[in-house]
Homo-oligomer: A and B are copies of this chain.
Amino acid sequence: MSITSSSQLWLYDTTLRDGTQREGLSVSIEDKLRIAHRLDELGIPFIEGGWPGANPKDVQFFWQLQANPLKQAEIVPFCSTRRPHRQASDEPMLQAILAAGTRWVTIFGKSWDLHVTEGLKTNLDENLAMIHDTIEYLRSQGRRVIYDAEHWFDGYKQNPEYALKTIKTAATAGAEWLVLCDTNGGTLPHEITEIVTTVISQTSMTNPQIGIHTHNDSEMAVANALAAVMAGAKMVQGTINGYGERCGNANLCSLIPNLQLKLGYSCIGEHQLNQLTETSRFISEVVNLAPDEHAPFVGRSAFAHKGGIHVSAVERNPLTYEHIPPEKVGNNRRIVISEQSGLSNVLAHAKNLGMELDKHDPQAKQILQKMKQLESEGYQFEAAEASFALLMYEALGQRQKFFNVNGFHVHCDLGKGKETTNSLATIKVSVNNKNILEAAEGNGPVAALDAALRKALINFYPQIADFELTDYKVRILNGNTGTAAITRTLVESGNGQQRWNTIGVSTNILDASYQAVVEGLEYGLFLHFQAEKCCL
């Protein structure tokens, strides 16, 4: 059934160029350097770094990369063909990509006659000359050239003869790769199959070889890239997490496992494929976008199981409920704590936490009831496993009270300009029946609260000096009720070795934040004393 092939494919990542066209995504030079090195580690052979002719920041990026070069990947600058009726050698943007000092360059040109006459406002022959001259000039300067045929599929559908001429021109001028682009993302897989097959048979091209670059406007980017590969394309362009303009580019996080695990192509090493999930999350963190929890292969929910019967079945035989073993892509199976959870999920989760809990224990039912009640108020334990663990320990009578918070006040003086915003928090805490009243300031009410709480506790628990608040997220649950909305806060804390997540819910955003911060400290103390116990 499956088509297997041991043949090699070349991946070409354009997260740093086409990916940054995504609305809401922006990156600094440092971000780009971190991402490039991470892609290098993943084993991507070609990494498109930017368009130095159009963006001065990209010039800096290529220079800085020279000081700290990649291990195995080719870093590639991107540029258009020369302008109509100019000399290639006089084009500042071509000088800019030469200055990037790379072995390979990518040049894009027009394939669609309409884009030549209406977009470039020149004639069809001049466009061919632009493609030819640009590539020939770059070859004369010692560069190897990848040619991106922009709007290829739309152009081919309108005027196949002219479209073919453009790539034949690129080949003649010395391009080593001809990449067929579905720039508008409107093509369907059966069309890709037909057109790529025709191109390969008509041009009988083995050198240059064919590549594919797809966009997701029809939700077909990954399927289209697979169709092209199965028709003979040898280079696949895409971005991590499918970032890109409009609906995004072909998602390498889905493409790589489909190509490698299902179709038997070789793209990256097995130990590199194991890093896929981590790479996806690393890059979403660097570009500061929330990861798509439902992303195929690498999403947090990709191998999550809900529902009692299903959970027991998947534990008996994972193959019957999972299309691939999650660890192959560095992801893991997860039993979901959710409103629809049955007792078996609670038990599975307790087991994960190393707790012994039997389905006949009355506490197991109590936990389920408490959980369902809290979930109806807006709590969601899927992303706050430390809070769920505290809830479980409480039900089992094993929750240690390290401290009690008996109240707090927050005062903010605002609105006079950002420099003068100031928040003051006072907190009343008791530890071992001793009352402490503390006050602290902060740039914002949550920072002030956190500071006051730590100040109150540090003499009793010096180890909290090592705890840090590593992430803080706020979600308005019923946004359409305006400022009276219920707020859910998620806090991630860490102690250098471990990280854990806690949750707070309230109509008051500060109260929700406070709950999550307090439980974060409590769970950190719990981990500390548990570790101490183990070492005795």
Listed in ascending order, the chain A residues whose CB lies under 8 Å from chain B are 1-3, 21-24, 26, 112, 114-115, 118-119, 151, 154, 157, 184-186, 188-191, 194, 216-220, 222-223, 226-227, 230, 245-248, 251, 254, 258, 262-263, 285, 288, 293-297, 299, 301-304, 306-307, 313, 316-317, 320-324, 336, 338-340, 375, 380, 382, 405-416, 418, 421, 423, 427, 442-447, 449-450, 468-480, 482-485, 487, 492, 506-511, 513-514, 517
**Pick the contact of A306 from B21, B258, B446, B447 — CB < 8 Å?**
B21
CA A485 – CA B21 in complex, angstroms? 25
- CB-based contact B1/A157 at 8 Å: yes
CA A218 – CA B444 in complex, angstroms? 43
- CB-based contact B188/A226 at 8 Å: yes
- CB-based contact B405/A410 at 8 Å: no
- A309: nearest residue on chain B (CB-CB)? B119
**Pick the contact of A222 from B2, B219, B411 — CB < 8 Å?**
B219
CA A269 – CA B46 in complex, angstroms? 46
- CB-based contact A410/B406 at 8 Å: no
- CB-based contact B294/A248 at 8 Å: yes
CA A216 – CA B513 in complex, angstroms? 35
- CB-based contact B476/A474 at 8 Å: yes
- A319: nearest residue on chain B (CB-CB)? B114
CA A258 – CA B216 in complex, angstroms? 12
Least Cβ distance of A267 to chain B in Å? 15
CA A427 – CA B415 in complex, angstroms? 9
Which chain B residues lie closer than 8 Å to A482 at the CB level?
Answer: 447, 450, 468-472
- CB-based contact A323/B475 at 8 Å: no
For the complex of A and B, 7 pairs with smallest distance between CB atoms? A186-B323, A469-B482, A223-B223, A444-B508, A219-B254, A447-B483, A474-B474
- CB-based contact B508/A230 at 8 Å: no
Least Cβ distance of A439 to chain B in Å? 14
- CB-based contact A226/B189 at 8 Å: yes
- CB-based contact B444/A294 at 8 Å: no
CA A100 – CA B115 in complex, angstroms? 57
- CB-based contact B119/A320 at 8 Å: yes
- CB-based contact A23/B338 at 8 Å: yes
- CB-based contact A3/B408 at 8 Å: no
- CB-based contact B119/A509 at 8 Å: no
Least Cβ distance of A481 to chain B in Å? 8
- A509: nearest residue on chain B (CB-CB)? B444
**Pick the contact of A22 from B218, B251, B294, B480 — CB < 8 Å?**
B294
- CB-based contact B507/A483 at 8 Å: no
- CB-based contact B188/A262 at 8 Å: yes
**Pick the contact of A191 from B2, B21, B316, B408 — CB < 8 Å?**
B2
- CB-based contact B189/A1 at 8 Å: no
- A185: nearest residue on chain B (CB-CB)? B323
- CB-based contact A114/B317 at 8 Å: yes
Least Cβ distance of A299 to chain B in Å? 6
CA A372 – CA B245 in complex, angstroms? 20
- CB-based contact B415/A514 at 8 Å: yes
- CB-based contact A409/B406 at 8 Å: no
Least Cβ distance of A345 to chain B in Å? 12
**Pick the contact of A409 from B2, B414, B471 — CB < 8 Å?**
B414
- CB-based contact B407/A413 at 8 Å: yes
**Pick the contact of A413 from B262, B409, B469, B509 — CB < 8 Å?**
B409
**Pick the contact of A508 from B288, B443, B485 — CB < 8 Å?**
B443
Which chain B residues lie closer than 8 Å to A513 at the CB level?
Answer: 483
- A221: nearest residue on chain B (CB-CB)? B219
CA A10 – CA B279 in complex, angstroms? 41
Which chain B residues lie closer than 8 Å to A306 at the CB level?
Answer: 21, 23, 245
Which chain B residues lie closer than 8 Å to A246 at the CB level?
Answer: 294, 299, 301-304
- CB-based contact A517/B483 at 8 Å: yes
Which chain B residues lie closer than 8 Å to A303 at the CB level?
Answer: 246
- A412: nearest residue on chain B (CB-CB)? B410
- CB-based contact A299/B247 at 8 Å: yes
Least Cβ distance of A242 to chain B in Å? 8
Least Cβ distance of A195 to chain B in Å? 8
Which chain B residues lie closer than 8 Å to A245 at the CB level?
Answer: 301, 304, 306
CA A473 – CA B479 in complex, angstroms? 7
- CB-based contact B416/A407 at 8 Å: yes
Which chain B residues lie closer than 8 Å to A450 at the CB level?
Answer: 482-483
- CB-based contact A184/B475 at 8 Å: no
- CB-based contact B444/A483 at 8 Å: yes
Which chain B residues lie closer than 8 Å to A423 at the CB level?
Answer: 508, 510
- CB-based contact A472/B468 at 8 Å: no
- CB-based contact B227/A189 at 8 Å: yes
